[in-house]
Amino acid sequence: MNRERHHCGGVYFADERYSLRKLLASQQYQNKHPKVPRDFAILPVNILVHHVEETLEQVQKLSREIHSTEKRIAEGDIKLEDNGDYKLLNRLTNEHIRLQRRSNFEIELAANLLKYMDEYHRMWMTLWEGGTSYVDDMREKIDQQMRYSEQVRTDLEVIPRRIKNQSKAVRVHISLLPFIHHRRIRGELTGQHRSSTTSCYGTTNSTSSLQKATKRSPRSHVVTTY
């Protein structure tokens, strides 16, 4: 209802996650002032609450996945086949961008809802007669969601640097692969050379031992009987 006390309507489109039944089920309408026309701020406020909860869960999930990737790469377990880690880091970057947009939307929605509540209070100021508990409660609820959104935005700000560090670690690992491969080949060749030398020395030593044993042995006498 607007200030001329005309009923206002609108069309609401949403998927099942934001259905009216899910958002407004068991929700009591708090504005019970006998003179002030009722508004419908309960819907956008509940959309804000639900949206912030979803974003918080998804940011926590993204942070856990980044932590797991950081730990694996730090241990030298880097997946290069089919650009595995490059694709992973690119997906994490895109997810961060999506969540950043959600966070920006939430902060903007909360700011507009606060403006609306101020205007709603001002519009019917002569009728409130001090009974503004509804407006105060709604402002507090919106402020709380805005604080949550600000915290989420702070968490999101550090994620690009974490992803960039992992991308750098992968590039450094790739740049060192030729040297690692070269050292591995040298190690194998050195091992083969040592094995061949040891075998040669073993044969020489055996021959020397046989010769020494022959010299030490008394000459055998052969007796021929006719």
If you search the block for the tokens 């694709």, which residue do you land on? Answer: 87
Residue 175 confidence class, pLDDT cut points 50, 70, 90:
confident
Q: Judge whether residue 196 has pLDDT over 50.
A: yes
Express each pLDDT in 146-159 by its tens digit: 999 999 999 999 99
Q: Which residue has the higher pLDDT, 81 or 195?
A: 81
Tell whether the model's pLDDT for residue 52 goes beyond 50. yes
Q: What is the pLDDT of residue 219?
A: 45
Q: Among 36-40, 170-174, 175-179, name the most confident range.
A: 170-174
Indicate the domain borders of the chain.
42-169
Higher pLDDT, 13 or 208: 13
Residue 36: the pLDDT is 59
Which of these ranges, 67-76, 77-86, 172-181, 206-215, has the smallest mean pLDDT?
206-215
User: 142 falls in which pLDDT band (50, 70, 90)?
Assistant: very high
Rounded CA-CA distance 203/206 in Å is 5
